Structure formats: structure tokens, C-alpha cells
Chains A and B, each alone.
Chain A
Amino acid sequence: MTAEVIVPALAGPAPAGRTGRRQKPTTTWRLLPILPAIVLLLIFLAGPVVWSFYGSFTNASLTGVNAQNPAWIGFGNYLRLFSDPVFPLSLGLTVVFVLASAIVGQNFLGLGIALLMNRAHRFVAGAVGTCVVAAWVLPEIVAAFVAYAYFSQDGTLNQLLAALGMTGPNWLYSFPMLAIVLANVWRGTAFSMMVYRAALNDVPIEITEAAMIDGAGGAKRLFLITIPMIKSSITTNLMLITLQTLSVFTLVWVMTAGGPGNQSTILPVMAFQEAFRFSDIGYGTAIATVMLLIGAVFSIIYIRALRPSKG
């Protein structure tokens, strides 16, 4: 599960000589083996997406009459959503969460670690890499408990602060967003680190050395040579971690459950609460549809960004 596997690189065309060898079976016959995959994808992936659009126009509820026979209410859920004071708050918190924990935190920390690893002793690089990856390999619910324990009132973070003579606040209550942002950086940086390690390995050492001989300093080499050369990896990584962070639920649900009040209610948490805590499936589905649209926009940008790199 190294980065190379996870980051999909658009495959080049099939090797020469592979195409057009056998014309015997018809296209329909050839496509037959794809059928199981297509059926699965249609029922369980495309189905819910279509259902999401449909359901967001109904007043479906968790229990009661409207659970069995939901009525069509048109744009009712969306009108309610756009006048709900929690929605802009939640959208804003989601943007802050993605920007702070993914774009800034995971991305820069991951790049930093990868760059430092190239200079450090191989053993140190390996050991630190293992520590960073450990947080990422753990099942999400375990990682969430660990983060909860770390940030709780009498947790490890406040123990550290106490050792420095400071009294730490109750992080999960006083600074819930800061806590979940830091937790997500802790959990997700490994991905960026692996992407950038792989990318940096592909930068030919001759180029860096040539620049060094020409008298370019460390910072100059980094910004004028290394960064431009791994630009496509940076784009890929930014898109993927954005999409991953948009769908973080468990970490936030265990740590703060969106609270206190709505102070850390990111969109997935809001959709879940409206649907299952307030039994309003239709409304929750409308929020889900908005999230799907946001995800779709990012996916399209991502796929377009990948295109030129297709060999």
C-alpha cells in the first residue's frame, strides 16, 4: 500500500502490438466479463447517487408514516437548507477543516518530512517514516480514540503542558476545531509523505547536482528545481487529500460529535445528525447531495489535471 499504488496514474496506452490482434469475438461478447463489476457499480454506487438526488426532494423520515411513504416536496429541503443558520457555519467549518488540516497541514508537513528524509541518516528516515505511517495504518476508530485520549482534559497533551508549567485547556471543549485539525494532520500526513517521497526519488540527481555546481543554494534549488519538477505530484496529492478530508467522519464523530453546540459540525457530521438524530432522512439526503456535488467538482478538476500527464 505504498503511494504508488494508491495514487492512480493514468495508464499509458497498451503496448504496441497488443491492439487489433484478434478480431474474432464481437465487442458485446468481449465486454461480458465486465458485467459483474458494472452490475455492482450500478446497484450500489450509481444507485445511491441517483437515489440521493431523488431523496433530497422528499420528506422521508427515519420512522413513522413518512418513512414508508415519503411525499415529494420539491425544493423544500434545499430552501430550508439555505435558510438554516447551521448550514453556512457547517460549510465554513468544512472549508477550514480541509484548508487547515489537508492543504496546509498534511501537505506541507508531508513535503517537509520527505525533503528532510533525503538529507537525514537512512535509519532515522526509516524510523520516523514508520512512526508517521503508524498513525495512518490504524483503523480509523482506533485512531479516533487515541486522538480523543490525547486531547482530553487529563490527556497526554495537557500532561506535557503541565510538565512545562502550563495548565492546558480542555481542548475538545474549548478549541474543538483546533483539536480535530491537529488530529487529522496526525492521522493523514503519512499519505502526503509517501507521495512526495516517491516523487522526490524520481527527480534525477544530476539536475540538482548541476544546479549545485552552478552555485544555487539550498533554498534556490528547492524552489527553482525540485518543486517545479514534482509539480504534477503536488497537484495529485492536493486533490486526493482534499477529497479524503471531505469524507472524514469517524475522527470528528468520536472526538467531538460536532460539538460543543455546532462548533465542529462539518458537513458529514451535519448530514448524519439531521438524518439519524433528528430523524429527517430527506433533509440529511439534501446535505449529502450538496456534498456529492462538491466532491464531483473536485473530482472533475482532479481528472482534468491528470490528463496532460498521460503519456
Chain B
Amino acid sequence: MTNLTAVVPVATRPGASVASPKKAVSALLANGILVLIGLCFLLPLAWLVLASLDVRASYQTQIPELLSLENFRAVLTPDLTFRPLWNSFLLSAGASVVTVVASVLAAYPLSRYSMRFNKPFMYAILFGTCLPITAIMVPVYSLFVRLQLIDSMGATILFMAATSLPMSIWMTKNFMDSVPISLEEAAWVDGASAMTALRRIVVPLMRPGLGVVFIFVFVQAWGNFFVPFILLLSPSKQPAAVSIYSFFGQFGAIAYGQLAAFSLLYSVPVILLYALVSRGMGASFCLSGAIKG
């Protein structure tokens, strides 16, 4: 634990407001409580990191006697790690590409033309974002059996894309609304069709927004366990979330360290993508600059 707690020093600024000592005390209190809460959230994760480096790991959180990467070496095999991660990548990237393309196409008319169709459609979309997907997995399974789509990567990708479509159409439309229409009008005057204007002007301008949508869908698909667990049966097609679960079922009671190592390897891409998005958020929405030039 010590190495992790050291990251969060209990630093306060008693001198921040000279006027009221009461405020300084309350700031100190706020800092103290926050640090405590942060520790509570961090504590369960400490096990994950420490166990992955410990050859003799158990469910106990302990400093490894001998730091080693042996757990990582043991799980880094094609069957255990590489193929499941590759499957995860295929599922997530496939779902993200399908979702982004379908959302951009759908968002364009919704954002650019005002039609009687828009409002009911957007409400239906909003309703779709609220649907508890977990609830429909049993009927989805029986529907997929009936359509003979069980164990099909393509169908699973399309299903994952469809479940994330409502949210991403919503996001894409909002991003597109903020792209000024005056740039397109210039293109129309020059004789470009709506689709050309979309491809050449709108999409490049909203690239940061589309990046957010892409990563949003990717992260969701990457972390999804229940959907592939139900729809993909053969181990050669299962993504890391499912293979990690079967690994836990088979060796969970023995190989804690390897389980932790595998979990970390599987989590790293999502953490990196999250960091990317939360970093880039601030700078990436300066679209208004485009209109001045």
C-alpha cells in the first residue's frame, strides 16, 4: 500500500485565506475527508497491482516478497492473452466503426434540416439510450438462435453497434450542431452536394467530436462482458472479458497472480483511451476558430 498512498500527500494551504481561520480549518477538514475517501476507493485496486507482481499472490493485499514479472510472462501466451485481446479489438473496433459511420450519416439530416420527423426520432433515440440492455439479453439470445446468428462475430459486432447507436447519434448530432453551417453554404454555392459537403467539410471539422464518440463506443465494447458471454460460444472467438472469466473459473482458486496480471493487461488499453479523451477534451472543441479563417 505504501507506494500508492505516497502519491496523495496531505497537502493543504492554510495560508490560502488569511482573513478567516475558520475557513482554513474547514479546508483542512475537506482535504482530510477527501483523502480518506480516495484511499477507500484506491484500496481494492491495490490488490490488483500488488498481486500481479507477486508470484505467491493470494486474495490478501500484501507487499510481494519478491517483485517479479513472472505472472505476466505466464499469461502472455497466444491462447490465453493474445487471441482474446485480438478478438476484443475486433469486436470493439468493428462496433465503433459501424456506430460512427451510421451516426454521422444519421446525424447529418437531423442536424441540418428541420423536419417533422426529427423530434419524434430524437425522443425515440433518447428512449433507446435508457433501455436496460441487460434485460434484453435473454430475448436477444433466443432471437439470435432463431436467426442462426449465435457465435457469429459479425452479428455480435452489429448488435453491439446497435446498442450504442442511440447514445452516439445523440452525441454526434450535438457535435454537428456546433459546426457552423456557413462553411457548408460556401461549398453548396460551389456546387457540392450535401454528401460531399458532409465528407469534405463537416466530418473533418468535427473530427475531435467523432474521436470522442469512437472512443466512447470502443471503451464500452471493450469492457462488455455480458453480450459476448451470451452470444459467442466458441473459445476461439471469445474476447478477453469472457476468456478472463473462464480462466477465473478454471484457475481462479490457484493462480491469483496470473488473474491479476491478465486483468491489468486487459484494462490498460481502456485506461489509456480514457486518459486520452479526458486530456484532449479541453482543447479539442475550439471549432469556432474555423469560421474566422
Query: Which A residues are closer than 8 A to B by beta carbons?
Result: 1-2, 5-6, 8-11, 13-15, 17-22, 25, 27, 30-31, 33-34, 36-38, 40-41, 43-45, 47-49, 51-52, 55, 60, 67, 109, 113, 116-117, 119-121, 123-125, 127-128, 131-135, 137-142, 145-147, 149-150, 152-156, 159-160, 186, 189, 218, 239, 243, 246-250, 254, 267-268, 271-272, 275, 281, 284-285, 287-289, 291-292, 295-296, 298-300, 302-303, 306
Whether B132 contacts A243 by the Cβ 8 Å rule is yes
Which among A138, A147, A285, A292 is the interface contact of B132 at CB below 8 angstroms? Answer: A292
Contacts of A11 in B (CB 8 A): 173-174, 177
Whether B134 contacts A141 by the Cβ 8 Å rule is no
B117 CB to closest chain A CB (Å) equals 7
Contacts of A27 in B (CB 8 A): 115, 117
- Known contacts A124-B31, A303-B127: A33-B109 contact under CB 8 Å: yes
Whether A131 contacts B130 by the Cβ 8 Å rule is no
A33 CB to closest chain B CB (Å) equals 4
- Known contacts A34-B105, A34-B106, A135-B41: A246-B47 contact under CB 8 Å: no
Task: Type the 1/0 row for B173-188, where 1 means its CB is closer than 8 Å to any CB of A.
Answer: 1100100010001001
List 16 A-B residue pairs with CB atoms under 8 Å apart, sorted by A's residue number: A33-B106, A37-B102, A44-B162, A45-B165, A49-B131, A116-B30, A121-B13, A138-B271, A139-B223, A139-B225, A139-B241, A145-B244, A147-B44, A186-B40, A247-B135, A292-B136
Whether B61 contacts A159 by the Cβ 8 Å rule is yes
In the assembled complex, the Cα of A268 lies from the Cα of B46 at a distance in Å of 30
B54 CB to closest chain A CB (Å) equals 13
Contacts of A141 in B (CB 8 A): 223, 225, 241, 244-245, 263
In the assembled complex, the Cα of A221 lies from the Cα of B33 at a distance in Å of 20
Which among B38, B59, B169, B271 is the interface contact of A154 at CB below 8 angstroms? Answer: B59
In the assembled complex, the Cα of A6 lies from the Cα of B219 at a distance in Å of 13
